[in-house]
A and B are shown apart, each in its own frame.
Chain A
Amino acid sequence: MSSGPRLEIDVEGKKFDFLPTPLLDGFRLEIEPSSVVALVGPSGVGKSTLLRMIGGVDTLFSGRVLVDGVVAAEAPPAGFVFQDPRLLPWLTALDNIRAVRPETTESEAEAMLMRVGLKGFERYYPHELSGGMQRRVALARAFSVNPRLLLLDEPFVSLDRTLVVEMEQVLLTLIETNRPTVLLVTHLPEDAATVADRAVVLSGRPAKIVADYRFASAAGQRPRAEREHIANQIAGAAAERLP
């Protein structure tokens, strides 16, 4: 069983020209190997920007982001899941997986699709798949690129609740099998309560950590009452605005 990398985030400053104040200023966060951390906070607080920095997509900031001691942009690519499935519409589900990592063989890609419950849909184009299926392909693609580090940017947004539960189950199974480090960006405390074993609540501008919860119970085996309690706890912290 593989183990996920340690993440060390130390952002001295991150500005955007169109914002009067920095988005991040003196932001520090450490994430232990193989932990599943939810970054929770309102829209625009900087969650996705942090994810892009960790993924090595955004390098225009001062400070450093290390993945197992290596600068993020030079580390092996993370398994990134965007807010939308972002599949290449001219490639089949199978080819979408192989497109981002040419070393992936056809049988490996087929096996990955099978793990997310898409056996038999390998040759389908994205427009021939439902929204939920497209998300699962995106998850399979991310997992095939790097099963040690998953960066999930609101992967359940705009899905109906049934599909969210389905996706969460797929994700929990992958996490249980491979023990990757997972960073889940979400604005929904319920998602964090279901999947994560740690929730970091962000608020304000520049963004600050207003709460950092660690949960003892295994995410996949949490009873509903406990999930609701955790979600309420996170929602309460998120509601408290910084002065």
Chain B
Amino acid sequence: MLFPSRLFPSPLAVGAHVVDLALNGKLLPDLGKTLSRAAVAFVVAMALGTAAGIALGRSRVADRLFSAWVVVGLNIPAIVIAIVLYIWLGLTEFALILAVVLNKLPLVIATIREGVRSFDPAYDDLGRAFRMPFARRLRLIFLPQLMPFALAAARTGLSLIWKIVLVFEVLGSDGGVGFRISVFFQFFDIKGIVAYTTAFILVVFAFEYLVLRPLERHILKWRQVRT
């Protein structure tokens, strides 16, 4: 046989294995663990990155002081951060999530900083001319201008997080999709690896089409071109 089924399992076999792993294996707890790690890291990185990005975008001094560190953060290999943190903090949940946050943070900062720099000063004049209070300016002028960049940061950041969470789970964790795939790897269990990957991709698709895209459509509906 040209493609032995042990190395190249058929889609049907993989589908059946996904169901089996979900019902009788640890697929669901593993997915839950990975997703919760990704979610915590995502929220923390977005919050810190947005605040830092706004600060660097608005303040030249802050940008001069920290922009080199953003470049370092953008280019330092993810695995280095994970290994160093595992050595310093041990193979803990905290170390794993912190490693993911530190990897994603520079990307969010850079994107948000560019967003803040692209703010139209004409709208500042508008706010001043009509004496709009700060909170109102923030809600009606600043945030809508920032939103396309925040969404871009969320999407690119999320794709990065999915990948690095799995890598860090392989490197050192007690469960999760990455951990389980590393176990399958030790037994050359391709069917298990593909089944876990398929389930993971289904979750990513669900998030993209059920959460991100509707949210983007809602927030950026004003950008829709007249047909």
Q: Which residues of A contact B (CB under 8 A)?
A: 52, 55-57, 77-78, 80, 82, 84, 86, 88-91, 99-102, 125, 127-128, 145
Kindly report which residue of chain A lies nearest to residue B219, judged by CB atoms.
Answer: A90
Q: Does B131 contact A (CB under 8 A)?
A: yes
A to B contact number (C-beta, < 8 Å):
50
Q: Is the CB of B129 within 8 A of A88?
A: no
Which residues from chain A contact B226 at a C-beta distance below 8 Å? 127-128
Q: In whole angstroms, what is the CA distance A207 to B223 when docked? A: 42
A88-B141, A90-B222, A127-B225 known; A82+B128 contact, CB < 8 A: no
B211 CB → nearest A CB, Å: 21
Q: Which residues of B contact A (CB under 8 A)?
A: 122-123, 125-126, 128-132, 136, 140-141, 144, 222-223, 225-226
Which residues from chain A contact B225 at a C-beta distance below 8 Å? 127
Q: Is the CB of B222 within 8 A of A80?
A: no
A104 CB → nearest B CB, Å: 11
Which residues from chain B contact A80 at a C-beta distance below 8 Å? 129-130
Q: Is the CB of A78 within 8 A of B222?
A: no
Which residues from chain A contact B222 at a C-beta distance below 8 Å? 89-91, 125, 127
A55-B129, A57-B128, A100-B132 known; A86+B144 contact, CB < 8 A: no
Which residues from chain B contact A82 at a C-beta distance below 8 Å? 122, 125-126, 129
Which residues from chain A contact B123 at a C-beta distance below 8 Å? 86, 88
Which residues from chain B contact A102 at a C-beta distance below 8 Å? 136
Q: Is the CB of A101 within 8 A of B130?
A: yes
Most buried by A among B129, B130, B141, B144: B129
Q: Is the CB of A77 within 8 A of B130?
A: yes
Which residues from chain A contact B144 at a C-beta distance below 8 Å? 88, 90
Q: Is the CB of B125 within 8 A of A57?
A: yes
Which residues from chain A contact B141 at a C-beta distance below 8 Å? 88
Which residues from chain A contact B122 at a C-beta distance below 8 Å? 82, 84, 86
Query: What are 12 of the A-B contact pairs (CB < 8 Å)?
Result: A52-B129, A56-B128, A56-B131, A57-B125, A57-B129, A80-B129, A88-B123, A88-B126, A90-B222, A100-B126, A127-B222, A128-B226
A184 CB → nearest B CB, Å: 16
Kindly report which residue of chain B lies nearest to residue A77, judged by CB atoms.
Answer: B131
Q: In whole angstroms, what is the CA distance A145 to B222 when docked? A: 24
Q: In whole angstroms, what is the CA distance A77 to B136 when docked? A: 15
Kindly report which residue of chain A lies nearest to residue B222, judged by CB atoms.
Answer: A90
Kindly report which residue of chain A lies nearest to residue B128, judged by CB atoms.
Answer: A57
Kindly report which residue of chain B lies nearest to residue A81, judged by CB atoms.
Answer: B129
Q: Is the CB of A77 within 8 A of B129?
A: yes
Q: In whole angstroms, what is the CA distance A149 to B140 when docked? A: 24
A82-B122, A127-B222, A127-B226 known; A88+B128 contact, CB < 8 A: no
Q: In whole angstroms, what is the CA distance A152 to B30 when docked? A: 64
Which residues from chain A contact B125 at a C-beta distance below 8 Å? 52, 57, 82, 86
Kindly report which residue of chain B lies nearest to residue A75, judged by CB atoms.
Answer: B131
Kindly report which residue of chain B lies nearest to residue A102, judged by CB atoms.
Answer: B136
Which residues from chain B contact A90 at a C-beta distance below 8 Å? 144, 222
Which residues from chain A contact B136 at a C-beta distance below 8 Å? 99, 102
A59 CB → nearest B CB, Å: 9
A48 CB → nearest B CB, Å: 11
Q: Is the CB of A88 within 8 A of B131?
A: no
- Given A86-B122, A89-B222, A127-B222, 8 new contacts (CB under 8 A): A55-B129, A80-B129, A80-B130, A82-B125, A91-B140, A91-B222, A99-B140, A128-B226
Contact check: which of A78, A86, A125 meets B126 at CB < 8 Å? A86
